[in-house]
Amino acid sequence: MDDRGTNFSDKLIAAVMHPKELAIADYTYILPDEKIAAFPLADRDGSKLLVYKEKVLKEDTYQNIAAYLPEKSLLIFNNTKVIQARIQFQKPTGGVIEIFCLEPYEAINEYSTIMSKKERVRWKCMIGGAGKWKEGPLVKNLATKKLDLKARLVEKLPDAYVVEFEWQPVHLSFAEVIAEMGDIPLPPYIKRKPEEADKERYQTIYAAFDGSVAAPTAGLHFTEKVFSSFKTKNIDTAFVTLHVGAGTFKPVKANKMEQHEMHAEWMDVSTDNIKKIIETIDNNIIAVGTTSLRTIESLYWMGVRTLLFPEIVMEALSIHQWDVYEAPLASSDYSAADSLCSLINWMGKNNFERIIVKTQILIAPGYHFKIVKAIITNFHQPQSTLLLLVAAAIGDDWRKIYNYALENDCRFLSYGDGNLLFIENDQDLI
């Protein structure tokens, strides 16, 4: 803990509080529709890669990314798996109602438990054509699989609906049911219907755990060949899980960020992977994607909570939108190693092998990165929280990079090209 007294703490809090006052209009650019990639390239690793380091910008492709990564780096990937979350039901009258599964609407101890549930389950959903659903259940049949799925409207929430799904045969898991009945949830800016190829291409090659309704798109560029190239530079890999919600596409409509509610997502990280981060904390830890970055940085603040409140319970580790900019977290000054070691000790004391909790962390200009030294990410939508994260990492130079990308035929958003950005902590406060 810093020993410079209250004045320093007050100065620190004041310095990092300003993200609430950010005007989203300052983080915009013109994105023509033709720049948005509607389809992936034939080769995953053939996408363009812009590399930004020490104010210098270079262009290459993902096939050669290892050349730009420091030796003995640790790359951390999000191994969540996209579920086929869009389910279309046709009414007897011919009308179509689409149910978009957002997240489970019940207590979660482990996400895989929900996905493996049998017979029935309740989910928080968005409903397309909800006005047509007057009463009674919706039914969908798949004769070739002898599968019947029934959806019942349970409750209307302020921003969604609660839907209960029930199916036959009951021995099937919910994951198996929606894999047969649903469609891959392509982002709303990809204005076409999903195709069979999207089931593979809107999924990373290392996807392992069902739960996301949007892909961790930075990882879509990685192939076995790229992973093999890491060996020449002793680059290691680790995996975390953050189930990406539809809120990742939620536009910022408020003038000031203080009025915008950040989406919360479930993260799941094992003791072994936290230990791997600690072991390489002095090397370059690189997040593959904004979801991995938000997960890793959230771990730091969770560790701080265990230092400040040793008897804290798992649920209270959750990081809310402005927590890291306010006391008591913002006024603390622990090293990354101290924080993560405390988190590991707390897990051991409470017999936890995994951290399974929600994070709503908003990383915006003014944020001081604690663990991550670089990020690999795609090009993001104007006036989005993802663009704010990029601006937090490299400052106003995000404009230089995006202008270059627009002028040099880079492909934008989920199926598009990407960049490797080395974080510039110009906003260091210590």
242-298 pLDDT, tens digit each: 999 888 777 798 999 999 999 899 999 999 999 999 999 999 999 999 999 999 999
Domain of 219, CATH number, reads 3.40.1780.10
Alpha helices in 350-394 (DSSP H): 385-394
Give exposure, 306-330, as e/b (b: 16+ Cβ within 10 Å): bbeeeeeebeebbbebbbbbeeebb
Residue 212 lies in a domain: yes
Question: Is 366 in contact with 425 (CB distance < 8 Å)?
Answer: no
Residue type, 11: K
Residue 429 lies in a domain: no
Sheet strand arrangement including 138-142: 86-90, 96-104, 120-128, 161-168, 147-156, 138-142
- What is the per-residue DSSP string for 200-268? HHTS-TT--EEEESS--GGGGG--HHHHHHGGGGT-EEEEEEE---GGGG----SSBGGGPPPP-EEEE
Residues 339 and 253 in one domain: yes
- Number of domains composing the chain: 2
DSSP 171: T
Residue 189 lies in a domain: no
- H or E segment and range at residue 377: strand 374-378
Residues 77 and 89 in one domain: no
CA separation for the pair 417, 423 (Å, rounded): 19
**What is the residue-level pLDDT of the chain in tens, covering all 430 positions?**
344 333 433 433 444 447 999 999 999 999 999 999 999 999 999 999 999 999 999 999 999 999 999 999 999 999 999 999 999 998 877 789 999 999 999 776 777 888 999 999 999 999 998 888 987 899 999 888 889 999 999 999 998 999 999 999 999 999 999 999 999 999 999 999 999 999 999 999 999 999 999 999 999 999 999 999 999 999 999 999 999 988 877 779 899 999 999 989 999 999 999 999 999 999 999 999 999 999 999 999 999 999 999 999 999 999 999 999 999 999 899 999 999 999 999 999 999 999 999 999 999 999 999 999 999 999 999 999 999 999 999 999 999 999 999 999 999 999 999 999 999 864 433 2
Q: State the Cα angle at 86 between 89 and 174, rounded to 5°.
A: 90
Within 10 Å of residue 397's Cβ, how many Cβ atoms? 16
Token readout for 110 is 């482990």
Residues 367 and 302 in one domain: yes
Within 10 Å of residue 74's Cβ, how many Cβ atoms? 20
Q: Identify the domain containing residue 173 by its residue range.
A: 85-182
Integer-rounded Cα Rg, in Å, for the chain is 22
Question: Is 291 in contact with 78 (CB distance < 8 Å)?
Answer: yes
